[in-house]
Amino acid sequence: MKVLWSWPTKPNEFQICCINVVLFSFLAANRFKFYRYIRSVPQRLMDKSWIHSDARHTKEYLQGVNSFLAFAFRNSAVGDKILCPCRKCVNSFWRDSSDIREHLICDGFLQGYTTWNLHGEASSSYLNTDNGDGADLVEESTEEDDISTLLSL
C-alpha cells in the first residue's frame, strides 16, 4: 500500500502557528460554552444519591453534605452565607455553614432539589443563544402559560 501523504514527524513553526491560531479562534468563539461546560463538570461527576437518604447519620450522607457545602460556598456564597436547602428553610433563608450542616443532618435535604441552580450549578434547562458576546441566556420552559387563565384568577 502506497502512502500518498502523512503528517511530518516534527511540525515546523508554520504548522505550530496555524494550529495555535485555529485553536485560539475556536476557544474565542466558544469561550462561554466552554466555561459553562468546565464549571459543570464537577456537578456531572458528583453523586447526589445521598440527598434522598433518610439515614442522615451515614458516612455517605455526611460526605454528601460536606461536598454540597464546599460546592455551594465556592459558587454562590454572599459573604459567609448561602441559602439553606433543608426541608424547613426551603432555600428561603440565608445561613452560615454550621447552621446549614445542622439543618441538613437534622431536617434533611429539600426533596426534588437535585439541580443546585440556587447554589451555582449550571442548569441543563438553559440554552446559550449568544452570538459570541455571551449576553443572551434563554430559559427553556416545559410549561405553557395561558395568560387569559392567569388573568381571570
Question: How far is the CA of 152 from the CAs of 143, 144, 146, 148, 149, in angstroms?
Answer: 18, 16, 10, 6, 5
- Answer whether 55's CB lies under 8 Å from 71's CB: no
Q: What is the pLDDT of residue 80?
A: 95
- Answer whether 91's CB lies under 8 Å from 113's CB: yes
- Catalogue the E-assigned strands of the chain: 82-83, 94-95, 126-128, 137-139
Position 137 pLDDT exceeds 60 = no
In this structure, the number of other CB atoms found within 10 A of the CB of residue 103 comes to 20
Q: What is the pLDDT of residue 46?
A: 74
Q: Is this prediction's pTM over 0.75?
A: no
Calpha distance 131→30 (Å, rounded)? 10
Specify burial of residue 115 (Cβ count, 10 A radius: 0-12, 13-18, 19+). middle
Confidence of residue 101 (pLDDT cuts 50, 70, 90): very high
Specify burial of residue 72 (Cβ count, 10 A radius: 0-12, 13-18, 19+). buried
**Mean pLDDT over each residue of the chain, to the nearest integer:** 74
Average pLDDT on 117-126 reads: 74
Render pLDDT for 6-44 as a digit per residue (tens, 0 to 9).
555 665 665 565 565 665 666 666 665 555 555 555 555
Render pLDDT for 61-71 as a digit per residue (tens, 0 to 9).
999 999 999 99
Helices 31-45 and 59-76, interaxial angle, to 10°? 160
Q: What is the pLDDT of residue 94?
A: 96
Q: What percent of the chain has pLDDT over 70?
A: 50
